[in-house]
Structure 1
């Protein structure tokens, strides 16, 4: 009767809701040996309902409830061990009780148990068992588990790779409001993975995920508006979503937002100070392309005070991370002795790197280095090779030098027909 009276006060059934009295009668019921009341008492202590919050007492009563056969308390006890609530963190014990709770049909425990197996927390990593428990959780109606099950099929983890089943479960999870699934479903529609490419559906799901706060979805939604993919082109809306994603920490959106401010105000007014701000934010998040543009801002004094030293620093950072335009600019710095002491060997090194990455201006300068023996030994055959590469990539000055090589037989055999061809180009 005490337990039922407590429930009445808790639910406001037959009397006014009163959590203090509910707590009192749960406590009385516990003193009279009611096991279920132990579980409810623990919840009250955990949430500070009807009594001051006390995680140590919550843990104590969850433990007592479990010892007295209250299966529902197993999951909560596992959570205490997992999240250091009222007791020391102990992932092995958390795993044990998640397993016990899962085996007793607790769907959230099934999901958490799967994650423990997937990440090797409190037990050895076992993707097959992770897949099994994600599947069980889904069968018991866990929406989040649908997304993880889809990932298992998508990546072939714990089961054979199956893009059709991945698509099916991403769709199911998305329809159940799992924002990460919405994003993945949109990506599948955009990139035509095991379904017909459909930019309208991609746009729809990016929008749904973005409205739920998914930063990557915001960025991709902005791209859809920017490029007019799956919807009408709208630079103002593109700018809006780039801004939302950037403010949530998406570095790609930061770069695109900076570009919007920089490029004559796309979807907004031109503002070099704001462009600089967002290039810097993205560069500090190790976004390589942003490092290049930040260096250009410092070099030209755009949106900030001009500083060739800082520009050189960011060109170097970007170049060392494979940004070909930065490699070229860094090489120019060494060649011209700008921002740094002149060094033809280092200039040659970076022209070569940029050329190998496909920068046609670097190909031309590399050819000049070989032709003039600057920063390396003179080598007319290599000079000819790089003039040819740059010319074939449409670089006009290289075409002229290539024609001269054919005309004079420098680095190749004389060939007046080819010389004439490249002069005409």
Structure 2
């Protein structure tokens, strides 16, 4: 019904209706999803003077929605919308300046945007401003602490929050959770919402104050009622986990559902539909939501979408599309996807076998200490798969993985201690590792452990 009304109004050049019609086509709401038509209607809305349409047009160019991806054009439309007062466009523009996307990198300009938006209680801007203070982006850390201290002493409420954050995170000073709590409390009582949010964390964790989950819940609920998006997500998490309240997964689901326009909520809703949390299991809806989030460059959603295509969950099985989304997620830094893409190249399941590329992606995942990738690298070096054999390197990778409790690596490490040629043989260490892996369910380790028991070599029967 909404789609039909928007369509009728759009024919009379009502720009806001054209924007909503574009969103219907983009999200598949009341009509089949069509990104090209979404772009066309956003463009028509702009021709009719829509400011929010300018933002959506920029968004289309940034992510290649219905049009060839063009970061420079996206910045152009973000700037147009920002000059016309669109807050979301200002936030996206700040990100562009911070990262140098489609524009010359300018951290000071990004900081200024975040600071101005944060003063207007834009939660995402407050979060990014905190990151700027923490990492010294567009500002100097030491100067930041001193300037906040001076302004806080003069009674500036926002400065009290920022000073509290400095004490909370140890920015320009030593960490002092008690001082952070005190400053957050004063600022929150004067209406600073960001302080209210951080106070809930301190109550939840028991940092700077006695742990009080109920108080944490009350503060987040209060902030969520004010419309704070981050607080709504946190409240959903509290209901999901039963923190400070009874577990209520239906309420958690409803909170995410109410914010389904936003990226984080779209991913979480996909997860809830996938697992049947607070609602019935619906793999098709989960797929649709993951796809929307994936197209907005959410790497977790991209990886999940790849898994859905591999397994044919909520959609038809399509190994080519699976590889595409795994690859997108991997390029966006998703460690699980980096492992998945490495496995695809190793096994030749979704793409032609290529051990060199498999080795590259396993190394990328291993940089973040992924235990599965570390195990695979150990295997590559042990067996000489696509690289020269090197038992010492294999041992190093297996050990890093085994230290994280991965039973297959524990078994392999035990094997090298038993039969290694470049590693000193140590039957006692081999026994201990086999035992760990065997308890975890590794069948090969169980067989080796039985053999060592039978032989009784260099170990007691324990």
Q: Check whether TM > 0.5.
A: yes
Q: Which of residues 386, 411, 415 in structure 2 aligns to 1:230? A: 386
Map of 1:348 onto structure 2: none
SS in 1 for 2:398: helix
**2:291 equivalent to 1:135:** yes
Map of 1:23 onto structure 2: 185
**2:397 equivalent to 1:241:** yes
TM-score computed with the length of structure 1 as normaliser: 0.64
**Cα-to-partner distance string for 1:192-236 (whole Å, 9 max, x where unaligned):** 123221101111111221221211111111010111112221110
Question: How far apart are the structure 1 equivalents of 2:257 and 2:408?
Answer: 40
Map of 2:449 onto structure 1: 294
Q: Which of residues 408, 419, 435 in structure 2 aligns to 1:280? A: 435
Map of 1:86 onto structure 2: 244
8 Å contact from structure 1 (residues 44, 58) kept in 2: yes
**Cα-to-partner distance string for 1:155-186 (whole Å, 9 max, x where unaligned):** 11111111111111111211222211111111
Question: How far apart are the structure 2 equivalents of 1:299 and 1:61?
Answer: 62
Q: Which moved more, 1:50-59 or 1:283-292?
A: 50-59
Map of 1:56 onto structure 2: 214
**Cα-to-partner distance string for 1:30-83 (whole Å, 9 max, x where unaligned):** xxxxxxx45641432323588766432332233233334444432121011112
Question: How far apart are the structure 1 equivalents of 2:189 and 2:219?
Answer: 11
Question: How far apart are the structure 2 equivalents of 1:279 and 1:142?
Answer: 40
Map of 2:196 onto structure 1: 41
**2:319 equivalent to 1:163:** yes
8 Å contact from structure 1 (residues 276, 303) kept in 2: no
Question: How far apart are the structure 1 equivalents of 2:210 and 2:414?
Answer: 49
Map of 1:7 onto structure 2: 158
Distance of aligned partners of 1:251 and 1:52 in 2 relative to their CA distance in 1, 3 Å threshold: closer
Q: Which of residues 424, 435, 449 in structure 2 aligns to 1:269? A: 424
8 Å contact from structure 1 (residues 174, 185) kept in 2: yes
Matches within 5 A, 1:339-358: none
8 Å contact from structure 1 (residues 147, 181) kept in 2: yes
SS in 2 for 1:115: helix
SS in 2 for 1:89: coil
Shift of 1:28: 2.1
Q: Which of residues 360, 363, 367 in structure 2 aligns to 1:207? A: 363
Q: Which of residues 214, 217, 233 in structure 1 aligns to 2:373? A: 217
SS in 2 for 1:171: helix
Shift of 1:2: 12
Q: Which moved more, 1:113-122 or 1:48-57?
A: 48-57
Map of 1:195 onto structure 2: 351
Question: How far apart are the structure 2 equivalents of 1:269 and 1:209?
Answer: 29
Larger radius of gyration: 1
Structure 2 unaligned spans of 5+: 1-118, 122-154, 172-178
Question: How far apart are the structure 2 equivalents of 1:62 and 1:204?
Answer: 44
Question: How far apart are the structure 2 equivalents of 1:212 and 1:269?
Answer: 29
Distance of aligned partners of 1:232 and 1:240 in 2 relative to their CA distance in 1, 3 Å threshold: same
Distance of aligned partners of 1:224 and 1:55 in 2 relative to their CA distance in 1, 3 Å threshold: same
Shift of 1:247: 2.0
Q: Which of residues 73, 95, 99 in structure 1 aligns to 2:253? A: 95
**Cα-to-partner distance string for 1:332-380 (whole Å, 9 max, x where unaligned):** xxxxxxxxxxxxxxxxxxxxxxxxxxxxxxxxxxxxxxxxxxxxxxxxx
8 Å contact from structure 2 (residues 303, 336) kept in 1: yes
Question: Aligned-residue CA RMSD in angstroms?
Answer: 2.8
**2:269 equivalent to 1:113:** yes
Distance of aligned partners of 1:2 and 1:277 in 2 relative to their CA distance in 1, 3 Å threshold: closer
Distance of aligned partners of 1:117 and 1:39 in 2 relative to their CA distance in 1, 3 Å threshold: farther
